[in-house]
Amino acid sequence: MISILTDAPENVAAFYAMGETPKNDFEALVLPHIKHKHSKFQELNYMIYLNGNVEKDNFQSLFKECCSNLQDFTNWNRTAIVMDDDHLESFHETFATLMSGELRFFSKQNIYDALYWCHNGKALSA
C-alpha cells in the first residue's frame, strides 16, 4: 500500500509505502501526484518512507517502472528515501542508477530531516 504524506512541504511529493505495493497504487496515486508537483514547481523533490515490512523486490520493480514512465522529467531535484538501515545498500544500487539530481537515504528516526532536506536542500541545524 502506498499513501501520500499530506503534511509534507508544498514542493515535496512525499509518500509512505508499507507491505505490498500494487502497480495500481503507482498508476493511480504516485504518478499523478508527482506530475502535479512537477507542473506546479518545475522540479521534482520526492520523498518516500519505506516501512520495514515493505516487499523490497516488488517495490524496486515498480519504482523502476515508475521512473521509466517519468523519463521526460528532466528536473529531478532532490530524492530522499527513508528506510531501515539494513536495506540501504541494496536500495542505493537500484535508485542511484534511476535518478538524476541529488539522492540521499535517511533512517526512519530522521524522517523530518529528510522532509526538510527535500524541501530546501539543507540539513536541519542541530
Q: Which residues contact 63 (CB under 8 A, 6 or more apart)?
A: 26, 94, 95, 98
Let me know if residue 126 belongs to a domain. Answer: no
The model's pTM is 0.81
Of the ranges 12-16, 29-33, 44-48, the best mean pLDDT one: 12-16
Tell whether 30 is covered by a domain: yes
Instruction: Give a yes or no: residue 67 inside a domain.
Output: yes
Tally of structural domains, the chain: 1
Q: What is the pLDDT of residue 114?
A: 95
Query: What are the cell numbers at 76?
Result: 529531478
Structural domain of 114: 2-120
* pLDDT higher than 90, residue 60: no
- Cβ neighbourhood burial of 64 (10 Å; 0-12, 13-18, 19+): middle
Shortest CA distance to 49 belongs to which of 113, 122, 96, 99? 113
In a domain, 105, yes or no: yes
CATH number at residue 43: 3.40.50
CA distance 44 to 13: 7
Is residue 125 situated within a structural domain? no
